[in-house]
Amino acid sequence: MSEVDDAGPILRVENLKKHFSTGSGVFDTVELDLSGGFPLKRTIEHVKAVDDVSFEIERGETLGLVGESGCGKSTLGRTILRLLQPTEGAIYFKGRNIAELDKGQLRRTRKDQQMIFQDPQSSLNPRMKVGPIVEEPMKAHDLYDQAGREERARELLEAVGLDPQHYNRYPHQFSGGQRQRINLARALSVDPDFIVCDEPTSALDASIQAQVLNTMRELQEEFNLTYLFISHDLSVIRHISDRVAVMYLGQIVELAEKEELFEDPKHPYTRSLLSAIPVPDPSQAGSRTILQGDVPDPVNPPSGCRFRTRCPELIPPDAYDLDNGEWAAVREFMRAVRRRAFDPDDRAAIETQFFDGVSLDGEPGAVVDDAVDHILAAEWETATDLLTEAFAEQSICAQEEPAYELDSDRSASRFAACHLHRE
Amino acid sequence: MTTPLLSVENLQTQFETAEGTVRAVDGISFDVHEGEIVGLVGESGAGKSVAISSVLRLVESPGEIVGGEIRFRGETLLSFEEGPNGERRQSPESLSNKEFRQRIRGREIATIFQDPMESLNPVFTIGSQLQEFIEINRELPPKDARDVAIETLREVDIPKPEDRFDDYPHEFSGGMRQRVLIAMAIACQPSLILADEPTTALDVTVEGQILNLVSNLQEEYGTSFVWVTHDLAVVADICDRVNVMYLGQMAEQADVHDLFDNTKHPYTEALLQSVPRPDKTVESLTPIEGVMPEAINPPSGCRFHPRCPDAREVCREVNPEPRNVSDTDNRHNAACVKHDVFDVDYEHSTPIQSEGDEFGEDLQVTEGSR
């Protein structure tokens, strides 16, 4: 194609959004509204699976995309290939916005983009032999004649470390690792430039995973491939990636060169992830710090920074003059109240449990006293609201969405979405 | 040495299938002492889960425990003797299934499974399931059982336990469901909890929360754990001693520090070399060659020899039992004849050439899908 741009990054994603509506039928979306006027109201809620994501992938590199389940990393991978229709935003593949292509044009770009899925079992048709499975994409794109396709299929089987003699075998005759190799061969058959790999080794045992990862690296060199490698496993990401993007609740919170990200993480979420994973070395046992709580609902993500509800480094509100000890005590108290994690006896007991050695005065002190009154009256919800409004909502983290470009020694720039980096 | 809390000796569990007998657990021995977290590690198909199910008597037909002895606090739970016709049968000392159910399982030995959704009944509320379990096992009236249930839920860090008591399992996240199972396991304050890959299906931050919770509970109550996992990092993090299994047999047994710093079995060594690490960048991984053979037709001699970098001719012939190869006072068992205590002239045996192709994975046709 003439309009192809060979100089820039192979993929540039700009402000990409993918929202799903939650209601599945007419009655699902109708609610009773007695506040006046017509008593029925139609509301459609949207799960913001991918919400305003921008990044680039350079030719020949591997970008690792890591995050916990439900953070939107698989949705992002699929939306980039337009297996899902983006809600908003642009996806420039070799300089061309594929978010705007029609079906026919899209079909032709598919030749350059392939995908490998997590489950090697269900992504292979059990009734087809391995050879024809590998030939299928070539057929779809009208490449070669039958003899040429067969020859290429055999070559590819060999390239991914299988025996070309197994052309006539069925998928069930192979082990999990070998099936993932068949998937690799199929993806490579149309000679793509870019492959999205969605947890390709998660279903494999440790010893087999290492074999497949090594093969993927060799193939990258041999076929000059660019990978977007999606995984929840930070060890695998560290092994395979050149740069790493960390996702939380539909957004990228940090993007940096691999060594920088792992050795000097700039976002509290990345730090929490890294300190949460156990390390295969007993001398480092017990050094974990643990992220508390659960991921919030992506239908109503928190305002400002989405990680703030769990962030161990939440910035104290500028309005109050709290030192670190005081702020820590307030946050611990706030969390315990929200979770009703204690049985209240009297004011003194609560104060020794949460504010031992800390004296709050001024407005913060008054708010906490007020909250304790409500708790003793068993009004937990009121106490929670009071504390949230007075403390959590006042932080800059709740009021502005963070996005900071930082200096980097190893690459052009790095990105961290955290207000700790404000000037 | 004091009597171990749990002692398993030469346990054998097999499955009769149309293709033949699968010896899923083939003569393993291990001990668990009071207050210890013991790891049981291996890849899929090593027989770790079957070993746990055997201790709990949860092996279902066509599986059957065919040999070995299991003792709990010195009391025989299961043993075998020779019958009049030379056949092996359960000895009369073994606890009957009814007694085992009433006295041991749930009360003394509890369990946590990998998939919390499958272990909870979807049509009953979380609270009612936990309360029923406490009513039956601790013989408490319903109201007291409810209070204990709420207190236990609070202890495993379920937010707003009074409100969540009436929720159904699907209203809980994966991590919270796993906490409920832990609550159920600790509700009767058992001396031993057998945990079968309890954090494998969870995210890293949730896994971290659960591992911390377990460490705290273990300190508070002194409960012993057997932790079944394929993840060496989890083992390094929480276990005191480790047992490494390969294809139904024990490969290595040692204190966690000895196992990682002074590895004595080539399989453990290879496993450690093949995993990528979160704390440092490894330029290239050294995979283990080939795939684990089917338990229905294990290799002759040492079961690891076809994939072993140190294999010699003698390894084809001798299938070693784990022996103490430690040079310190800490016991360190390894089932590898390259150690002198085995005395099979490994030194002068011819090395076996690797049979793997350039990518290492032997092509072998697996029968049926796994």
Cα–Cα dist A227/A204, whole Å: 19
Report the residue from B176, B291, B363 with minimal CB separation from A208.
B291
Instruction: Note the pLDDT of residue A119.
Output: 81
Report the residue from B159, B234, B259 with minimal CB separation from A339.
B159
Instruction: Note the pLDDT of residue A6.
Output: 64
In this structure, are B166 and B278 located in the same domain?
A: no
Asked if the Cβ–Cβ distance from A175 to B366 is below 8 Å, we say yes
In this structure, are B180 and B294 located in the same domain?
A: no
Residue B363 placed within a domain: no
Q: Which fold has domain A57-86+107-241?
A: Rossmann fold (3.40.50)
In this structure, are B132 and B198 located in the same domain?
A: yes
pLDDT reading at B359 higher than 80 = no
How far, in Å, are A193, A251, A278, A409 from residue A274 at the CA level? 31, 18, 9, 21
In this structure, are B233 and B322 located in the same domain?
A: no
Arithmetic mean of pLDDT, A295-312: 88
Q: Are B315 and B299 in contact (CB under 8 A)?
A: no
Residue with tokens 């072998």, as numbered in its chain: B364
Amino acid present at B167: D
Arithmetic mean of pLDDT, B5-23: 92
Instruction: Note the pLDDT of residue B358.
Output: 41
In this structure, are B256 and B226 located in the same domain?
A: no
Work out how many domains chain B is built from and give that number.
2
Asked if the Cβ–Cβ distance from B154 to A341 is below 8 Å, we say yes
Using only C-alpha atoms, what is the Rg of chain A? 26
Structure tokens, A293: 């709580």
Q: What is the pLDDT of residues B45-87, one digit of tens each?
A: 889 999 999 999 998 888 999 999 999 999 999 998 888 887 8
In this structure, are B124 and B209 located in the same domain?
A: yes
Lowest mean pLDDT among A159-168, B48-57, B96-105, B201-210: B201-210
Instruction: Note the pLDDT of residue A4.
Output: 52
Share of chain A above pLDDT 90, in %: 42
Mean predicted lDDT score pLDDT of chain A = 87
**Residue B158: how many other CB atoms lie within 10 Å:** 22
Structure tokens, A351: 């104060």
Burial class (CB in 10 A: 0-12, 13-18, 19+), B128: middle
The nearest CA of chain B is from the CA of A290 a distance in Å of 6
In this structure, are B127 and B274 located in the same domain?
A: no
Residue B131 placed within a domain: yes
pLDDT bin (cut points 50, 70, 90) of residue A323 is confident
Q: Which residues does residue B204 pair with via DSSP β-bridges, in sequence order?
A: none
Predicted TM-score (pTM) of this structure: 0.86
Residue with tokens 């690799």, as numbered in its chain: A184
In this structure, are B237 and B255 located in the same domain?
A: no
B78: region left, alpha or beta (phi > 0 left; psi from -120 to 50 alpha): beta
Instruction: Choose one of B245, B275, B294: the last residue of a domain.
Output: B245
Residue B354 placed within a domain: no
The residue count for chain A: 423
Cα–Cα dist B257/B271, whole Å: 16
Q: What is the pLDDT of residues A49-83, one digit of tens each?
A: 999 999 999 999 999 999 988 889 999 999 999 99
CB neighbours of A170 closer than 8 A, spacing ≥ 6? A126, A127, A128, A129, A130
Residue B356 placed within a domain: no
pLDDT reading at A37 higher than 50 = yes
In this structure, are B179 and B204 located in the same domain?
A: yes
Instruction: Note the pLDDT of residue A5.
Output: 55
Asked if the Cβ–Cβ distance from B238 to A285 is below 8 Å, we say yes
Instruction: Note the pLDDT of residue B175.
Output: 82
CB neighbours of A58 closer than 8 A, spacing ≥ 6? A9, A10, A226
Q: What is the chain A residue with the closest CA to B173? A: A294
Q: What is the pLDDT of residues A350-378, one digit of tens each?
A: 888 888 877 787 888 888 888 888 988 88
Is the ipTM reported for this complex over the cut 0.85? no
Q: Are strands A243-248 and A62-66 parallel, antiparallel or unpaired?
A: parallel
In this structure, are B278 and B341 located in the same domain?
A: yes
Arithmetic mean of pLDDT, B310-335: 90
Q: H-type helices in chain B, by residue range?
A: 48-55, 97-99, 116-119, 126-138, 142-155, 161-164, 174-186, 204-221, 232-238, 256-261, 266-274, 313-317
Share of chain B above pLDDT 90, in %: 45
Residue B156 placed within a domain: yes
Report the residue from B233, B361, B365 with minimal CB separation from A280.
B233
pLDDT reading at B355 higher than 90 = no
Residues of A in contact with B167 (CB under 8 A): none
Report the residue from A121, A238, A279 with minimal CB separation from B233.
A279
Instruction: Choose one of B213, B245, B277: the last residue of a domain.
Output: B245
How far, in Å, are A395, B233, B235, B272, B273 from residue A280 at the CA level? 38, 4, 7, 8, 11
In this structure, are B174 and B287 located in the same domain?
A: no
Asked if the Cβ–Cβ distance from B278 to A279 is below 8 Å, we say yes
Cα–Cα dist B300/A238, whole Å: 38
Burial class (CB in 10 A: 0-12, 13-18, 19+), A244: buried
Angle (deg, nearest 10), helices A146-159 and A176-188: 130
Sheet with A226-231: list strands edge to edge.
A113-116, A194-198, A226-231, A62-66, A243-248, A251-257, A414-416, A404-406
CATH at residue B176? 3.40.50.300
Q: Are B296 and B19 in contact (CB under 8 A)?
A: yes
CB neighbours of B10 closer than 8 A, spacing ≥ 6? B27, B28, B29, B67, B68, B69
Instruction: Note the pLDDT of residue B187.
Output: 86
Share of chain A above pLDDT 70, in %: 96
Instruction: Note the pLDDT of residue A113.
Output: 92
In this structure, are B156 and B281 located in the same domain?
A: no
pLDDT bin (cut points 50, 70, 90) of residue B253 is very high
B311 is in which domain, residue-wise? 251-348
